[in-house]
């Protein structure tokens, strides 16, 4: 922690700040600058409380933490990569994981047709929403348990693993019964009651970045899940909210690289929500592979213009196949970058 | 709904769009412009599904809804003002409601001291967090049930009404047992499971705007609560997230006026979270009264530099008193603007 | 300056950083923390160059400046208020300055009619654009010199002072010939060639905040003008660009208070551009007076629905008069807050 | 244009709106919806003025333009690609153009060393700033004419083409004397006086997107240059300003694809300014190639930790070489996507 005092802070005010810092369990180093005193606090203590309380003092200009606020998810804790296994797959390692499927599960025919098609085209995981977070109470809210059962059927038929969203801590057990990976939507990234429950769910969790959440906040939310007992968290960049309206969100693609520097957890990209527009999905998918994401989450529907939700951003099946074909050379470069070079003889 | 076709859309594509619109239950009016065809859809149907599915078509340029997506909360539904009563108070009418108290309930002495002081200074409602949404799992998470009991004690001692946050649908019944008003935090504005439960909670709800939520989304979340049975929703502007870092958030004060044009629900302002800085709270409180908010939500702590959370933005008791005194002439102007002029004899 | 090293920085890397800091003319204080070394640099030197160059080193985590990057415009340089005089008025002191007029000067009749009306209603300054920054090359670009002449005529007829925009360093002399105050639009806030020329223009300058500029950047742009010789800069909050589209911009009203804490320069608010919507202007104007702005900049047009630009946000003359009447009690409170209390006898 | 009336608009108000629309030269089609009347305006007229003036009417809810506000830069005007030639190169066609060099030209040795190295590594264009837009008046402002001469020397020695920034319409002729391409910085994207002058400069222009400019505004600024006589405009995505502070800006990489759908002009990416951090440049460069940018603009300096500006985001020479090697397989895929398939025999 670094605390900079106001230029006109008096000696006894500086001393009071030093005392308060010591009370929180830190050692104090103070530096007399040209214009002001700057105090360094060294040690281990309740950083947030200390920072916020010091900033309450009128003669303190700013209090800044130096160490990262997360621990288990940091590269400092684990400088390698976390490889998560489920249903015979791994993510975070040498396997690139394409997850695809409709926004909402609508009926058996739709989900089976999509599952078969995306499996054939090379997807490893089937996505599909049974519980749907909808902005309007009047929009389709999902098939709930019925939808979960259809996902299970599709898994049986195709061998695909299943990822689906859970929206409330009440439903975690139910969803964990059917899904291989539990998805947390952007709007729930800071639903802390839900995050705590996920710590105990026994399944990998895919955590989507909130639409106005910083990378640091995303890592803090992952830290909630890990600190409550579940180390298997996959992070997902899905676009953030900015002033630009040409796309549904603004894909912060560099976040993939920033996360790779800060954390050992796998990172995937969702080009469908990031753009909101079908024609933009394939080029952004290419960019996601090139920048080194561990997988992609792509919306695909047999007949997007009849979808109950997200039709505008869903690929149809022919388009999905075409995208998979076009990605192949990029995936080969991706794999070459992941496979450790053989040791020289 | 207005659907504009791409300039090069062919006759049969336009016809297909018209058919799809009719299937959704609308009548079709098409206009041949200089460059493109624009289609108006008139009637009542499933707007969202229709819009999203039409946008999936490659020859559709854009599909825009004209009517508002909310109903019960709109001025068109109720052109007057909703006045909400609780614990002998009203909000939304002729009474300006100051709500004040600490960020977190820390112990009996702290909450009683604050309650007594803010009551004397003119506050009508005591705020205080028992369940705390914290970015970090390592920060203080609140006293939970114990905190609720302390709030009840403070109500008994001071006569103040109680507002406190609920974070999960699991806790709604518990919190509703103690609180007069249930507060929904910014991070939970689109926790739809929670919103649905609030529809049945039997208490007024104060809904904070999400930090990157549009005004329209705030109204949609209020619509969730109302559509599920609870018409008593108070809206709260508490600052949005922007690029500016000089303040914790950016107070979108004009949102108060925008909301007053769009909805009949009461609107309050939280100058503490909007700025994150104690010295900015009193001037912003004045602006909030002047622009016509129905009340304010202000953080106040007997000793901010020892607070476990939000110390930097909390007023101490002397500062709160001073702010209340300074607000008096503005509150008089506010009241004059609310009291209906007597009919001429 | 505080430089924090990466946790795994080696001794010789730390030593190299210290050396580089000393080369820039600073003294070095280093603090050994639990996880990393933090270095304080004390003294006077080329801060920006030093910061940026240190951040280029792979073993440096972050380099942060502590002192403000501006000097002349800061409260530390002048703890009082700068009161700027022009044409018999003052701004920044005991006089509240209402500036009003059309977006564009269209013709003699329009500008004379507006000038007469706003003068009668209590405005002190006439605004009106002769050089118009328009997003599209096909939109009306202003009457240029002809417009300036009409402004001069209006000043003669009404006694109002004149404020008008200048868009290029080439036109500064021309505009300064006619205007009492030179306005710099949001899009030119970081047109540094223009800012330098304004340092020599001999007229007060009203500098609008760029639509995505931080408060600090606004102050840095003001510093350009002052450092190049012109101390008479008025700052203007006119809304920033955010994700919210219900208003044209998002009025960062708290910026008025933040600026009052950081600088001695006068600060005004433009509720017309901040909202883009006529009905929102009067309530936001009230809030602006209440929060302590030194003046307002309001668009007003005799017939907004025939205006060549900004009709949607212009008040008509009756509305302007009404707003002025409604502001009176707030202006009285404003004046009471500015007039120094008489010393007790 | 589509004008939607308020639900309670009266017949004569609707009639007045129709009249006003006809005055602007449009034909009127009105649609009676369930709740409101919607009016379509068909034809050619002064759209902006008409829209803004109609929105001034209290009984008009919204007025929306349907056709794009730009013309020459649109795909509708030219459905192909504009290929721009300069100094023996082309951009926008089958050649991928790497532009590299230091942020600022500092001295002869620095620029010659960089030029030689980037040329050897495969760059085709040398970048380097002689006129520097700096936030602070106290930061290094560039070598100006002296810097331009050094660029010319470097061109002679290496055969690289030259790109450099121009900041004021006053300097356009001077810069055009030395540079092959004139760069317009993000802060000047809406410096309309400058844009008009560039229409006559006789050189290709690289126009950087403003940090809070929409894609549409970027196209409108390009339209300014083209409409004033210069069809050779290269667009550049360099990151936009958002709430995220982990990177200097947020790279809106999808904007490359959006622009490719809307315009025939070449589009390049600047991964250095988009991230502000050296280690993020190579992965983002890969993504930029993969998504289909026509070139990259990368900062490179022989000794970034001694650079006078932007050291933190500059690659050193070894890193630049490494990045170029790593890009090769991606550039091959890029070229394959650009070269037209041979016609079947």
pLDDT per residue, tens digit, chain A (345 aa), is 888 899 889 999 999 999 989 988 888 888 888 788 989 888 877 888 888 888 888 899 888 888 888 999 999 899 999 999 999 999 999 999 999 999 999 999 999 999 999 999 999 999 999 999 998 898 889 999 999 999 999 999 999 999 999 999 999 999 999 999 999 999 999 999 999 999 999 999 999 999 999 999 999 999 999 999 999 999 999 999 999 999 999 999 999 999 999 999 999 999 999 999 999 999 999 999 999 999 999 999 999 988 888 888 999 999 999 999 999 999 999 999 998 766 655
pLDDT at residue number B341: 66
Lowest mean pLDDT among A341-345, C196-200, D340-344: A341-345
CB under 8 Å to D19, separation ≥6 — which residues?
none
Contact (CB<8Å) D38/B76: no
Q: Judge whether D45 and D17 are in contact, CB under 8 Å.
A: no
Residues of chain D neighbouring C212 (CB-CB closer than 8 A): 210-212, 241
Residues of chain B neighbouring C256 (CB-CB closer than 8 A): 283
CA distance B218 to chain C (A): 12
Residues A186 and A133: their CA atoms lie apart, in Å, by: 10
Residues D68 and D82: their CA atoms lie apart, in Å, by: 19
Q: How confident is the model at residue D55 (pLDDT cuts 50, 70, 90)?
A: confident
Residues B247 and B208: their CA atoms lie apart, in Å, by: 18
pLDDT at residue number C343: 60
Nearest to C203, CA basis, from C180, C185, C171, C231: C180
Q: Judge whether D3 and D29 are in contact, CB under 8 Å.
A: no
Q: Identify the H or E element spanning B245.
A: none
Residues of chain B neighbouring A188 (CB-CB closer than 8 A): 191
- Nearest chain C residue to B328 by CA distance is C333
Q: Judge whether B87 and B124 are in contact, CB under 8 Å.
A: no
Q: What are the residues facing D101 on neighbouring strands?
A: D299
- Segments of chain B assigned E as strands: 2-5, 26-32, 37-43, 60-64, 84-86, 89-91, 97-101, 125-127, 161-165, 181-184, 205-208, 233-237, 267-269, 295-299
Residues of chain D neighbouring A244 (CB-CB closer than 8 A): 214-215, 240, 252, 255
Contact (CB<8Å) D304/C53: yes
CA distance B345 to chain A (A): 48
pLDDT at residue number B2: 87
Tell me what the pLDDT averaged over chain D comes to: 94
pLDDT at residue number B345: 52
Q: Residue ranges of the alpha helices (H) in B58-164?
A: 108-121, 145-158
Lowest mean pLDDT among B102-106, B302-306, C292-296: B302-306
CA distance A306 to chain C (A): 29
Contact (CB<8Å) D40/B35: no
Residues B281 and B296: their CA atoms lie apart, in Å, by: 11
The structure tokens 């519980």 sit at A131
CA distance C202 to chain B (A): 32
CA distance A301 to chain C (A): 29
Residues of chain A neighbouring C7 (CB-CB closer than 8 A): 76
Q: Judge whether D184 and D194 are in contact, CB under 8 Å.
A: yes
Determine how many CB atoms are found less than 10 A away from the CB of residue A79. 9
- Nearest chain C residue to D224 by CA distance is C137
**Sequence ranges of the domains in chain A:** 2-64, 84-338
Question: Per residue in B189-228, is it b (16+ CB within 10 Å) or e — as a string?
Answer: bbbbbbbbbbbebebbbbbbbbbbbbbbbbbbbbbbbbbe
Q: Judge whether A98 and A298 are in contact, CB under 8 Å.
A: yes
pLDDT at residue number D31: 87
pLDDT tens figures, C290-337: 999 999 999 999 999 888 888 889 999 999 999 999 999 999 999 999
Look up the ipTM and state it: 0.93
CB under 8 Å to A250, separation ≥6 — which residues?
A239, A240, A241, A242, A244, A274, D240, D242, D250, D252, D254
Contact (CB<8Å) D244/A244: no
Nearest to C178, CA basis, from C200, C155, C199: C155
Contact (CB<8Å) B255/C245: no
Candidate CATH numbers 3.20.20.80, 3.40.50.2000, 3.20.20.70, 2.40.440.10; the one for domain C84-338: 3.20.20.70
Evaluate if residue B297 carries a pLDDT over 60. Answer: yes
The angle that helices C281-291 and C317-338 make with each other, rounded to 10 degrees, is 10
pLDDT tens figures, C108-127: 999 999 999 999 999 999 99
Write out the two tokens for B203: 């208490």
Residues D51 and D6: their CA atoms lie apart, in Å, by: 16
Q: What are the residues facing A42 on neighbouring strands?
A: A27
CB under 8 Å to D41, separation ≥6 — which residues?
D1, D2, D3, D21, D24, D26, D27, D28, D29, D50
Residues of chain C neighbouring B74 (CB-CB closer than 8 A): none
- Nearest chain D residue to A289 by CA distance is D287
pLDDT at residue number A182: 98
Residues B251 and B211: their CA atoms lie apart, in Å, by: 10
- Nearest chain D residue to C225 by CA distance is D137
Contact (CB<8Å) B190/A187: yes
pLDDT tens figures, D188-219: 999 999 999 999 999 999 999 999 999 999 99
The angle that helices A317-338 and D317-338 make with each other, rounded to 10 degrees, is 150
Residues of chain A neighbouring D214 (CB-CB closer than 8 A): 243-246
CA distance C336 to chain D (A): 36
Q: Residue ranges of the alpha helices (H) in chain A?
A: 11-23, 47-55, 108-121, 145-158, 172-178, 192-198, 215-227, 254-262, 271-275, 281-291, 317-338
Cβ contacts from A onto D, under 8 A: 114
Write out the two tokens for B216: 């329209």
Percent of chain B scoring above 70 in pLDDT = 99
Write out the two tokens for D215: 């894609």
Nearest to D231, CA basis, from D257, D205, D209, D210: D205
Candidate CATH numbers 3.40.50.150, 3.30.70.1140, 3.30.2270.10, 3.30.230.10; the one for domain A2-64: 3.30.70.1140
Identify the residue among D209, D214, D249, D254 best suited for mutation to test binding to A, counting A beta carbons within 10 A and taking the highest.
D254
Residues A19 and A74: their CA atoms lie apart, in Å, by: 31
């Amino acid at each position: 922690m670094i605390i900079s005092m106001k230029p006109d802070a008096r000696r006894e005010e500086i001393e009071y700040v030093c005392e308060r810092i010591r009370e929180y369990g830190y050692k104090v180093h103070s530096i007399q600058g040209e214009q002001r005193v700057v105090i360094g606090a060294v040690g281990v203590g309740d950083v947030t409380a200390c920072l916020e309380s010091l900033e309450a003092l009128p003669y303190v200009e700013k209090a800044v933490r130096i160490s990262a606020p997360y621990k288990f998810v940091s590269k400092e804790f684990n400088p390698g990569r976390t490889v998560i296994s489920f249903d015979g797959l791994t993510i975070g390692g040498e396997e690139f994981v394409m997850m695809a499927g409709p926004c909402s599960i609508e009926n058996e025919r739709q989900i089976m047709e999509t599952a078969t098609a995306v499996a054939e085209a090379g997807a490893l995981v089937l996505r599909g929403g049974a519980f749907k977070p909808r902005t309007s109470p009047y929009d389709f809210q999902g098939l709930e348990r019925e939808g979960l059962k259809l996902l299970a059927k599709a898994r049986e038929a195709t061998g695909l693993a299943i990822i689906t969203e859970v929206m409330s801590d009440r439903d975690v057990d139910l969803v964990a019964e059917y899904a291989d990976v539990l998805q947390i939507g952007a709007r729930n990234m800071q639903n802390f009651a839900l995050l705590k429950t996920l710590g105990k769910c026994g399944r990998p969790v895919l955590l989507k970045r909130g639409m106005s959440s910083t990378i640091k906040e995303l890592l803090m939310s992952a830290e909630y899940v890990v600190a409550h007992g579940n180390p298997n968290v996959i992070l997902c960049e899905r676009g953030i909210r900015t002033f630009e309206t040409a796309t549904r969100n603004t894909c912060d693609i560099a976040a993939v690289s920033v996360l790779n520097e800060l954390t050992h957890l796998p990172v995937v990209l969702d080009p469908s929500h990031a753009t909101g527009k079908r024609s933009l999905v394939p080029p952004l998918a290419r960019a996601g592979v090139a920048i080194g994401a561990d997988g992609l989450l792509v919306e695909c529907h047999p007949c997007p213009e009849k979808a109950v939700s997200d039709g505008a951003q869903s690929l149809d099946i022919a388009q999905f196949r075409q995208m998979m074909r076009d990605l192949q050379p990029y995936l080969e470069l991706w794999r070459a970058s992941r496979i450790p070079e053989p040791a020289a003889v």
